Structure 1
Amino acid sequence: MEAVLHKSETRGKVDYGWLKSKHTFSFGSYTDESRIHFGALRVLNDDTIAGGTGFPMHPHQDMEIITIPLEGAVEHKDSIGTNGVIRAGEVQVMSAGTGILHSEFNHSASEPLSLLQIWVIPEKRSVSPRYAQKTYSVEERKNRFQVVVSPDQNSESLWIHQNAWFSLGNLDAGVRLEYERKNKKGGVYAFLIGGKVQINGVDLLPRDGAGFALDDVLEVKALEDSELLLMDVPEL
């Protein structure tokens, strides 16, 4: 794995009217051979979905899918009987495994929905499809990193079939934090949701992403009030 910097404006873009999406990695009609994945991190889509619209039933297989609503709520239905709503402040995971059908719609008829959808390549294939969601307190990630996804089925976080940890942090301007990489043969991909931060000397602006593969410890400094997602993933 190599260190990478993906500025927001360099991402792939699609605009279907009802859906506006930015793709950090190759996805759909956007293909960049230099941006296929970062270790096991395969997809990082930044979607805005108009009110009353969404994705009808479609299939997935052998992928760990994480959805993080940023504004609004997602209405989810799937072929294993799940029917629910995921709101901002919650995180959803879905193991596609042997195969699953699901739909995702904006729960609001009028207000836009903003979300991150992230795909992680699993460590084992053909598992039984599963679904889970959880509400996380924003206060518990105030000036610290809160683990929201991990491989540990016994932890308070949601779990996936991969040696990956996702952490969210809401940092006040001037706060400095350290993050120690868990995957010694892998890296950490940082995605700045909002604000301005500096990580190991690399400045990130809103929706910038950077992969750190050689640094055992990330030194994070918030240059403004910021919201940051760290994805600690193994190499393939």
Structure 2
Amino acid sequence: MAQSVLHPAASRGHANHGWLDSYHTFSFGGYHNPSRVHFGALRVLNDDTVAGGMGFGRHPHDNMEIISIPLSGALEHQDSLGSQAIIRQNDVQVMSAGTGVAHSEKNHSPREAVKFLQIWVFPNQRGVAPRYAQQSFPPAERHNRLLQVVGPSAAEGSVWIHQDAWFHLGNLDQGFTTDYQLKKPGDGVYAFVLEGDVTINGQALHRRDGLGLWEMDKLDIKADSQAELLLMEVPMQF
């Protein structure tokens, strides 16, 4: 039988550090909710705003797949692999922490805030060699379409991670309908509404609402307004 869990935007954890204003869908930092630690292999979904000129100093990670999706503005990235990059709106960045990597992220602008999603996914193998990649996905490519931006293989044309997981972004016109077919039995999909209003499998969702669905084969999606949607298919057992 189909299962679902609804996380309204207002129910998320919230931490405002002045330079960083962060909303946590799942337990993170000082926010701990035992019923919201992860959704399958999806461990962290943070909705972050970083003030101009500010950022995260160098800090370590290991054995985690880390995805950053800027929503507005730009981030400067540096890491112990020697990577130096600027990621902007419409880019998707991945960092496989593997055996260990240290990185820093800073707002590229001295004045304007940067808004981005920080997403962590448990890997399907530990101790891999750390790696960094980013790719741009122009908005026209996801107009009234669910465009794959993350997958388990470079051959699929998106950035890839060490997990059988697929992320799709869509910019949908009001009234547009589509469906999403799950790629593997036993997977679940976590839908996160970036902007606007959508209905998924009969559940009305609004800006920054999250909906997890599993034990089903398909999602039926309708845009109730101009909307931007992120779908994250992940294994529920890993």
SS at match of 1:140: helix
> Which position in structure 2 is the counterpart of 1:142?
143
What is the CA deviation profile of residues 30-63 of structure 1, one whole-angstrom value per residue up to 9, with x for unaligned ones?
Answer: 0000000000000000000000000000000000
Report runs of 4+ in structure 1 exceeding 4 Å deviation.
none
Point out where structure 1 has 5 or more consecutive residues left out of the alignment: none
CA distance in 1, matches of 2:19, 2:138: 30
Aligned identity (percent) is 56
Q: Deviations over 1:95-120 (max 9, x none)?
A: 00000000000000000000000000
Deviation at 1:184, TM superposition (A): 1.3
- 2:110: which partner in 1? 109
How many angstroms does 1:84 deviate by?
0.8
Counterparts of 1:1-236 in structure 2, within 5 Å, are 2-236=3-237
* Counterpart Cα distance in 1 of 2:202 and 2:164: 27
- Secondary structure, aligned partner of 2:204: strand
**Contact preservation (8 Å) 1:183, 1:232:** no
Question: Number of residue pairs matched?
Answer: 236
Question: What is the CA-CA distance between 1:3 and the residue it aligns to?
Answer: 1.7
Instruction: List alignment gaps of at least 5 residues for structure 2.
Output: none
How many Å separate the matches in 2 of 1:143 and 1:35? 31
CA RMSD, 1 decimal: 0.9
Deviation for aligned residue 1:2: 4.7
Q: Distance in 1 between matches of 2:118 and 2:62?
A: 15
* Residue type of the alignment partner of 1:56: G
Deviation at 1:224, TM superposition (A): 0.1
Q: 1:24 & 1:9 partners in 2: Cα distance?
A: 10
TM-score, structure 1 normalization: 0.99
User: What amino acid is the match of 2:47?
Assistant: D
C-alpha distance in 2 between matches for 1:171 and 1:227:
6
